[in-house]
Amino acid sequence: MAPIKMDGKALAAKIKEEVRTRAEQLSRRPGLAVVMVGEDPASKVYVDGKKKDCEQCGFYSEEYILPAEIAQEELLGLIEELNSRADIDGILIQHPLPGHIDEKAVVRTIAVDKDVDCFNPYSVGQLLVGEEGFRPCTPAAAMRMLHEYEIPLSGKNCVVVGRSNIVGKPLALMLLAEHATVTICHTRTRDLKEQCLRADILVSAAGRPSLITADMVKEGAMVVDVAMNRNKAGKLCGDVDYDAAAEKASYITPVPGGVGPVTRAMLMENTLLAAQAHQK
């Protein structure tokens, strides 16, 4: 039987519409500042996308495109200024940053109440101990997809391929918080296929095209592909061999049109939550 293709575009549109409606009830528009250092064309596309999302949600937004050679002190100074501004609810620093900038110092400088990307270690700690706070957008998007399609998580075997601080690790924590039994795989995992075949829910966030082949997918498993890669032809693709894996999966996310658009919508939702907290 053909699997259910999980439609991230439609879900993102629905979330943004809900965010817009909730934002209209506030006394002031939510405000998001996006900071990019250097002229990386791929990052610029993301920054432009965030501006468009803000317009769709009725938010105020500011973009800062700073020279690649900016001194760290100057960048930290800008973040501190944004921290103190009443019209800015969320601050997003586009990564990667140039090598002379200490990324850890940057993320620690973002005020926790404006850390809508959840990069500050304090925010990550809140996730770890199950405290209220922002959740990182990409793992939150993967979770939202699972919730939208009413995929039961309690007691399920979930395998997450990838252990980065921004995707794999927080996603594993979020699945664990919903009572899944979670395995995290990485480049030192001894038999990736064996691990993946145990998954009721298989999530790949490795950034390797064709890493997940059909013979690694259990019959009836649900497959979430978080990755955004370019294949040899330059086309956007995930980690999963979609067509072949779809023959075994019960649910599957496409790339593009899966987790990616929902990630952008989660940033809008986090900014709304920040604005609501600031206006209490």
Per-residue CA distances from 193 to 159, 161, 199, 207, 244 (Å): 11, 11, 10, 17, 15
Q: Which stretch binds ligand NAP (CB under 6 A): 14-22, 24-32, 157-165, 268-276?
A: 157-165
Of 140, 139, 137, 31, nearest in space to 94 by CA: 137
Cβ proximity to ligand NAP, 21 vs 165, nearer residue = 165
Q: Give yes or no: 195 in active site.
A: no
Residue 8 sits in the site that holds ligand NAP (CB under 6 A): no
Cβ proximity to ligand NAP, 78 vs 224, nearer residue = 224
Pairing of strands 229-230, 236-237: antiparallel
Q: Give yes or no: 279 in active site.
A: no
Cβ proximity to ligand NAP, 78 vs 158, nearer residue = 158
Contacts of 186 (CB under 8 A, 6+ apart): 161, 162, 163, 168
Of 194-253, binders to ligand NAP (CB under 6 A) are 205-208, 211, 226-229
Strand order in the sheet with 201-204: 4-5, 251-252, 222-225, 201-204, 157-161, 181-185
The single residue among 156, 163, 218, 278 that binds ligand NAP, judged by CB under 6 A, is 163
Number of residues that bind ligand NAP (CB under 6 A): 26
Cβ 141 to ligand NAP shortest distance, Å:
7
Rounded distance between C-alpha atoms, residue 267 and residue 33, angstroms? 12
For residue 96, give the 3-state DSSP assignment: coil
Residue 267 sits in the site that holds ligand NAP (CB under 6 A): no
Residue 47 sits in the site that holds ligand NAP (CB under 6 A): no
Rounded distance between C-alpha atoms, residue 198 and residue 195, angstroms? 6
Rounded distance between C-alpha atoms, residue 119 and residue 114, angstroms? 11
The single residue among 61, 123, 138, 195 that binds ligand NAP, judged by CB under 6 A, is 138
Cβ proximity to ligand NAP, 46 vs 64, nearer residue = 46
Rounded distance between C-alpha atoms, residue 166 and residue 164, angstroms? 5
Cβ 262 to ligand NAP shortest distance, Å:
8
Q: Which of 7, 53, 115, 117 is catalytic?
A: 117
Q: Is the CB of residue 201 less than 8 Å from the CB of residue 167?
A: no
Cβ 165 to ligand NAP shortest distance, Å:
8
Q: Give yes or no: 94 in active site.
A: yes
DSSP string, 35-85: EEES--HHHHHHHHHHHHHHHHHT-EEEEEEE-TT--HHHHHHHHHHHHH-
Rg (CA), the chain: 19
Q: Which stretch binds ligand NAP (CB under 6 A): 57-65, 69-77, 150-158, 259-267?
A: 259-267
Q: Which of 53, 89, 94, 115 is catalytic?
A: 94
Residue 166 sits in the site that holds ligand NAP (CB under 6 A): yes
In the chain, the amino acid numbered 69 is E
Cβ proximity to ligand NAP, 103 vs 113, nearer residue = 103
Using CB under 6 A, list all residues that contact ligand NAP. 138, 161-164, 166-168, 185-189, 192, 205-208, 211, 226-229, 259-260, 263
Residues classed as catalytic: 50, 94, 117
